[in-house]
Chain A
């Protein structure tokens, strides 16, 4: 699957500066296991892209390939317009303009904060080196800790030093490998905001690997969802969530239930009744699956309904209701925390007004009617 992130949406950036990081048909296998397979990706300069997927999906391999820690079996990788890996060439990591921030920060324990940052600036003269170190320390607001050793810093401070160190040599792209996952829940949100702000301020392109869906949606200007070494979807956070390209993306990026549904002349119906209308399908008839997210599903107690509340989970602000339909299938519904239908309550299930649910044919989303589903157009009524 070939997906260009942002190429169409941001032609201005594309023309003025080459993409910071480009993968073209990149594959990497470890023996019989697939690392990544045929990955195409173009990340425009200045963007922050999150890379997400279940473990083993190839997100870390993608990062290692970009950093030069792995050599691709096939394909081409470019950093800031320069080919760094293809069939013939391979640029060692120390000669690529790629910065790395790891989950364990990987600060040099025997060097002070300032020495850590200066490590990547050895090609500069002493004065320039000092100046640049001061600059990036100011950027992460840690100038007062320059003389400290890493073990004397808190986790959040270490994370900021790691970011400052990676930014110091002005890399074309900074790769962040689950940079917040070793921080406390309470600290994480703050550090995450700081990191995003810092990257934005520095104007550096960032690729952030995460396994946290909320993080992926809230941090990135683009989200790349991977599975089994293949990119399933690369899009804005809103599109990934609201218009998932595949069944996997729908279920991985947020909760989703799937019900068999039918479209007849633009009317989408399923077990719970009419779901919505589907513009553009006026003359089609097709069997599809409809993706229903719990926040789109409404419940109303109804003694005549065959659907029953089968389980209730309290989540604080919301209460998640599991409803078993007549067919035995289950849909979930978020209800405000004041609403709690006891297990066994017969409920009528509807879809909230205005919902534009995603339709799946097989495992892929469809937006236009699949071929071979056309009906005879309705004849206009004769004018009398």
Chain B
């Protein structure tokens, strides 16, 4: 879930320092451009190959069905997240009720349970063989009708519950931070509480709601693991199945282009919904919306609603996983000590560490390069490096495959038999490359946020004191950006631990990470065995969520403190 980082940045308006030495430094500009090219090439390759091969292969027979399913899933999850996330944000902002101050940040926790984990826990409870249906059959007999759980609505439900915090966080930031003065102005101009909400707060929150829904839809589009539990065939699943089933490049790239079209549509839709509004603080300081007290039953009702969201999204799945792990260990103490488990964890950590290091090094190089070379060209190139986060995993995966294939044939043409051999065997290098493309955005954003806080006068001073760029990097930029660098390392490592679709698509035979293991065990309904790696992933994923929680709480105290 790359977007955690993107989200963390959305609330803080950035002060762009003046562009640095406009004199231009070709080497540093070139470095930025090379990084951008490395990120963009695979995606460009997909588009070129997909469009160039149109008509050469027949589209999959169920293409219209896939497109429709994708559309319904994305719209369904967006609507569900808006309902849950937007509704809860309004509830905790506009009202006071029992435990509200705790729920304000507890409601963020479901972000720590990836949809592919929430999904299988959900299935274990509600599917035909699960306790709920068994109990229903016990009461009403075997013929009782229950809705099909492994279905599109089931997938929409699970993904909405797992992804709503994106909308929740952005909506809350919008309601708390951006609108206080404007709200006060509306009230002094005679608008009532609900009038001010409808005519001022909601329009001001619209860009944030649109951004939150866009994040949710991108996550939904990228997923092709969770949806397979639910037998939901999206275009991303299509890419995966076509590639794994037929190894037909052109058929896979054509579908990948379709996935990309969906992504472009989401981003365009966000632009339209956002209108000309921007994220900057509106109207300055003020009291803003004062929460109203909900008494008695209504208060507890509100608390129950929050509890339901936190429970289904976080508490119940985590408790269920713990129960499985403990239960399994009690039944058979040896089962947790699967010898493969250690290997998979090592694989996971290695990939995460290398990805994090690579992303941070590239981000620092790009940030430093932009600062030194100045100029619009380098800045635009730097923006390009973050574009991977908006590209669904299936597209990045196929793009990396095509790029490696092209590299292989180029090498063979140059007389190296077998080329790099990367494509044939599959390669961890491919996974790393794809991860860098996908996760450079959160890394660059947090590094860049730190760079933005370094006044450009500091860089100029260092230059005028005779320091060469490399020395400025080591002595000034890196020490001052270290908080952003630390955050970037953590975010990328955790994203890499959680990431599933790209590994599934690119992993070489026999290479398994914790996420893949969870997925494989869950697909075979080995819930108990899946519980331990799943808990490891949740434990890792909770770290960035705690950062968001801290941010949410700071917002809370900040909002309350008298200006």
Q: Is the CB of B475 within 8 A of A106?
A: no
B394-416 near A? 1/0 per residue, CB < 8 Å: 00000000000000000000000
CA distance A71 to B375 in the complex (A): 12
Confirm or deny: B64 has a beta carbon within 8 angstroms of a beta carbon on chain A: no
Q: Count CB-based A-B contacts (< 8 Å).
A: 85
Q: Which of B220-228, B461-469, B490-498 contacts A (4 or more CB under 8 A)?
A: B461-469
Contact (Cβ within 8 A) A165 B465 = yes
B23, B455, B460, B475: the one contacting A119 at CB < 8 Å is: B475
Determine whether the beta carbon of B480 is less than 8 Å from that of A109: yes
- The smallest beta-carbon distance between A82 and chain B, in angstroms, is 15
Are A70 and B22 in contact, with the CB atoms below 8 A?
A: yes
Residues of B contacting A106 in the complex (Cβ-Cβ under 8 angstroms): 455, 457-458, 460-461
With A98-B464, A165-B465: A110-B455 Cβ-Cβ less than 8 Å: no
Q: Is the CB of A93 within 8 A of B22?
A: no
Which of chain B's residues have a CB closer than 8 A to the CB of A108?
458, 461-462, 476, 480
Q: By the criterion of a CB under 8 Å from any partner CB, how many residues of chain A are at the interface?
A: 32
Asked whether A166 is an interface residue with its Cβ less than 8 Å from the other chain, the reply is: yes
Q: Point out the residues of chain A lying under 8 angstroms from B60, CB to CB.
A: none
Whether B22 pairs with A120 at a CB distance below 8 angstroms is no
Which residues of B in the span 465-481 have a Cβ within 8 Å of any Cβ on A? 465-469, 471, 475-476, 479-480
Closest to B476 in A: A108
A108-B476, A110-B480, A169-B466 known; A93-B21 Cβ under 8 A: yes
Q: Does A99 lie at the interface of the complex (its beta carbon under 8 Å from any beta carbon of B)?
A: yes
Which A residues lie within 8 Å of B52 (CB)? none
B198-238 interface code vs A (CB 8 A; 1 in, 0 out): 00000000000000000000000000000000000000000
Contact present for B23 and A69 (CB under 8 Å): yes
Contact A120 B480 (CB under 8 A): no
- Answer whether A102 and B460 are a contact pair too, CB < 8 Å, given A68-B21, A71-B22: yes
Q: Is the CB of A104 within 8 A of B24?
A: no
A138 at the interface (CB under 8 A from B): no
Flag if B460 contacts A67 (CB, 8 Å): yes
Which residues 9-24 in B have Cβ within 8 Å of A in the complex?
Answer: 20-24
A145 to chain B, nearest CB (A): 19
Alpha-carbon distance between A122 and B465 when the two chains are bound, in angstroms: 9
Q: Is the CB of B457 within 8 A of A71?
A: no
Interface 1/0s, chain A 193-222, versus B by CB < 8 A?
Answer: 000000000000000000000000000000
Quick one: closest B residue to A101, CB to CB?
A: B461
A246 to B488, CA, bound (A): 56
Instruction: Name the one of A71, A100, A104, A122 contacting B455, with C-beta atoms under 8 angstroms.
Output: A104
State whether A110 touches B479 (Cβ < 8 A): yes
A152 part of interface (Cβ distance < 8 Å): no
Q: How far is the CB of B440 from chain A (nearest CB, A)?
A: 27
Give chain A residues whose Cβ lies under 8 Å from the Cβ of B460.
67, 69, 93, 100, 102, 106
The answer to whether B480 touches A100 (Cβ under 8 A) is no
Distance in Å: Cβ of A137 to nearest Cβ of chain B: 16
Q: How far is the CB of A219 from chain B (nearest CB, A)?
A: 21
A123 close to B (CB within 8 Å): yes
With contacts A92-B463, A108-B458 known, what are 10 further pairs, Cβ within 8 A? A64-B22, A67-B460, A69-B21, A71-B22, A93-B21, A98-B464, A104-B455, A106-B455, A106-B457, A106-B460
Q: 5 closest A-B pairs (Cβ-Cβ)?
A: A120-B465, A106-B457, A93-B463, A100-B464, A102-B457
Chain A residues within 8 Å of B, Cβ to Cβ: 64, 67-71, 90, 92-96, 98-100, 102-104, 106, 108-110, 119-120, 122-123, 162, 165-166, 168-169, 171
